[in-house]
Amino acid sequence: MVREQVSLFGLIILDGRPVPYGRIDSRHASDIFIRKALVEGDMRQPLAFMARNQQMIDELRSLEDKVRRRDVMVSDEDLFLFYRDRLPSNVFDVRSLKQWLDTRDHEASLHMGKADLLRKPPEDDELAMFPDTLTLGDKAFSCHYRYDPGKSDDGVTVRIPGIDAPNLSPDSLDWLVPGLLREKITAMIRGLPKAYRKRLVPINDTVDRILSEMPRTETALMGQLGRFIYERFNIDIPSSAWPDEGLPEHLRMRISILGPAGQELRAGRDLSMLQQSGASALDSSELKALRSKWERESVVEWDFGDLPEEIPVVLNDTPTWMVYPGLENTETGIHLRLFQNPVQAMASHRAGVAALFEIHLAGDLKHFRRQLTLSTSTARQCAYLGGAAHIEESLYLRVTRSFFHKNIRTENAFLAQVVSSRSELFPMGQRISAAAGPVIQSVFQVRTALLEMVQTVAHRPLLKDFLGDIHQELEKLVPSNFIELYAVDRMRHLARYVRALGIRARRGVDHYEKDRVRAETLRPFSEKLTEMLVALKTRASDEKKQAVEEFFWLLEEYKVSLFAQELRTAVPVSRKRLEKKAAEIERMI
């Protein structure tokens, strides 16, 4: 629209009356209409051909989001030229467009095809690397792609119903989709410290080999990548050297947890969201009904039927989330509860089952406690480990936990365990007591010897401090609850490690400098163990936890080889073997 003046005999009677611009310059007006209305969609009610074209544009635009390129689609200028070539210049507004469409069957000529919209279409092989669904475990979940750096949903988002989320492994999401894996691995290698990065150049060739040879596993990408590079390139990269937080956001999987109606409950790139409860987002009446059906107070016998591992919360006839039934042992008694976290439910249920066994077998367990009474000589040797009563309690707890801390879910299994435990409790108690006896004796002998040695070197601060260190190491190796901590097979070696400390103490007092030399050989590995234990406080795989425990015991064998060779080691051990094991652990996540 433009504005004009209307005059009569030179007298202005209307000033600024709006007039369609098309009457003045139809060609220019038509160009403006095509750009604003047809290309940019600035129309109150889009016509049928516009809706059809926009749907196709949106579908093809999603290809750009997948392959992260903005050259797949033609430009807005190309869209303008498409309409410009087909519309006459006297079509410059909605009314004239509708008139033109009504005069003859012109609408089909305004239908866009893929050839009109695609500039550089992706190859089928490339598109296959950006799947519409991602298989996790035994289920497939839909993926959504967006190419918009800086936005919260940039990259790939996998949509996971809340009912499935707790059963999925976060590590599997670390691999993204095949189409982004090359970019992620390249970014990870480029983010390494120079000392490692320069050994992997040319990086593109290295990534090619990794992608063609490295198998995809259920473990974290970082750990698998470290193992592969060590095996193929003989480059030992610790997990701490890999960049993580510094990676671009689109190279970290985004997850969207969905509610019962497909609504998004939460979303982000923190994979721990998989384990967060979502039941609280559901209608409280649904949970209330389930609690009324399942939960029990003051349980004293197994009279509540069989317990499933999980129970679906059903909303509108659709399973929407899981809750996890389990026993809970509290100061007020044993209760049956529905938990929203599967890990918490399992830990609570095991403890609750054990408490229920103690009620059911109260008479048998009272007799069993009396059978665990230590001999007078052994009881006297418990002085440095909390006393005889404490050790007897540890024996009792160890045996009962072994028998009763179990994920039992049926009454039949519970009663079967009651029968078997009556005949097996005492033999197991004997086995554990027999394994603990030499440890108790060794601790008593070494602690007594340390006290005597401290008195003889009281005037020599250096040796007094040395013996103090031995004392501290002994307390760490054999704490007062060692019976509850260590397996029976491990306790058989524990007494030897204690004797080795005693031998080291005696020899160190006589030849302190020799001990210092050997201790210096040991020091890097002791420090490395401390670092490993600190690292385990953050997120660590079960594989790494197991490996750190193996390193701990291997280090004890190494101490025997350094300070008490006559006791002999149970396994081959050397500095080189320890270095290899430490490097292996550092590559783990």
pLDDT for 301:
93
Residues 201 and 130 reside in one and the same domain? yes
Secondary structure string (H, E, C) spanning 211-251: HHHCCCCCCCHHHHHHHHHHHHHCCCCCHHHCCCCCCCHHH
- Tell me if 434 is assigned to some domain: no
Residue 190 lies in a domain: yes
Are residues 225 and 191 part of one domain?
yes
* DSSP annotation of 75: P
- State which of 228, 258, 274 marks the end of a domain: 274
3-state secondary structure of 143: strand
Token digits of residue 385? 């480990």
185 vs 272: CA distance, rounded Å: 22
| Domain coverage including residue 234 | 124-274
Contact criterion met (CB below 8 Å) for 414 and 302 = yes
Residues 46 and 97 in one domain: yes
Tell me, what's the pLDDT at 342?
85
In a domain, 463, yes or no: no
CA proximity to 136, closest of 169, 180, 182, 162: 169
493 three-state secondary structure: helix
> Is 253 found in the same domain as 172?
yes
Of 161, 134, 157, the closest CA to residue 146 belongs to 157
The answer as to whether 535 is a domain residue is no
Neighbours of 476 (CB within 10 A): 8
Q: Could you please report the per-residue DSSP string of 244-309?
A: -TTS-GGGS-EEEEE-TTS-EEEEES-GGGGGS--GGGS-HHHHHHHHHHH-EEEE-SS-S----S
pLDDT score at 13: 43
Task: Confirm whether 80 is domain-assigned.
Answer: yes
Instruction: Please report the pLDDT score of residue 280 as a whole number.
Output: 54
Give residue for tokens 């490690």. Answer: 497
CB atoms within 10 A of CB 399: 25
Closest listed residue to residue 128, CA positions, set 113, 115, 117, 143: 143
266 and 281 both lie in a single domain: no
Mark whether 65 and 190 lie in a shared domain.
Answer: no
For residue 3, count other CB atoms closer than 10 A to its CB: 10
Q: What are the angstrom distances between the C-alpha of 137 and each of 24, 207, 308, 462?
A: 67, 27, 21, 60
The verdict on 141 and 190 lying in the same domain is yes
How many Å is the maximal CA-CA distance in the chain? 133
Same domain? For 226 and 178 the reply is: yes
Taking only the tens of pLDDT, the chain with its 589 residues reads: 444 444 444 454 444 445 455 555 678 888 888 899 898 888 888 888 999 999 888 888 889 899 998 888 888 898 999 999 989 988 888 888 988 888 877 888 899 988 888 888 888 899 999 999 999 888 899 999 999 999 999 999 999 988 888 888 888 899 999 999 999 999 999 999 999 999 999 999 999 999 999 998 888 899 899 999 999 999 999 888 998 778 899 999 999 988 777 888 889 998 878 876 555 545 567 788 889 999 999 999 999 999 999 888 877 677 777 889 999 999 999 999 999 888 889 999 999 999 999 999 999 999 999 999 999 999 999 999 999 999 999 999 999 999 899 999 999 999 999 999 888 999 999 999 999 999 999 999 999 999 999 999 989 999 999 999 999 999 999 999 999 999 999 999 999 999 999 999 999 999 999 999 999 999 999 999 998 988 886 667 888 899 999 999 999 999 999 999 999 999 999 999 999 999 999 888 8
> What's phi and psi for 293, nearest 5 deg?
-80, -40
Chain Cα centroid distance, residue 396: 36
DSSP structure class, residue 2: E
37: three-class secondary structure by DSSP: helix
Q: Token pair for residue 150? A: 């800086």
Determine the pLDDT at residue 266. Answer: 86
As beta bridge partners, residue 161 has 258
Please indicate, yes or no, if residue 458 is contained in any of the structural domains: no
Which residue, 211, 246, 274, sits at the end of a domain? 274
The CA distance from 559 to 430, in Å, is: 30
- What is the spatial distance between Cα 417 and Cα 435, in angstroms, rounded to a whole number? 24
285 falls within a domain: yes
Reduced to 3 states (helix: H, G, I; strand: E, B; else coil), residue 513 is helix
CA distance 515 to 472: 17
**Same-domain status, 185 and 248:** yes
Contact 100, 47 (CB under 8 A): no
Q: Which helix (H) or strand (E) holds 16?
A: strand 11-19
3-state secondary structure of 186: helix
Counted domains in the chain: 3
- Could you tell me if 237 and 332 lie in one domain? no
Residue 292 lies in a domain: yes
64, 87, 117 - which closes a domain: 117
Q: What is the pLDDT of residue 179?
A: 94
CB 158 within 8 A of CB 134: yes
Per-residue buried b or exposed e for 194-230, using 16+ beta carbons within 10 Å of the residue's own CB: eebbeebeeeeebbeebeeebeeeebbbbbbbbbbbe
pLDDT in tens, 394-421: 999 999 999 899 999 999 999 999 999 8
H-run or E-run covering 380:
helix 376-381
Cβ contact 104:91 at 8 Å: no
Residue with tokens 């290698």: 189
Task: State whether 136 and 108 are in the same domain.
Answer: no
Using the structure block, give the residue that is written with the tokens 């406690």: 369
**Judgement on whether residues 65 and 194 belong to the same structural domain of the protein:** no
Q: What are phi and psi of 24, to 5 degrees?
A: -90, -50
Task: Give me the pLDDT at residue 346, please.
Answer: 94
Q: Distance between CA atoms of 263 and 282, rounded to whole angstroms? A: 11
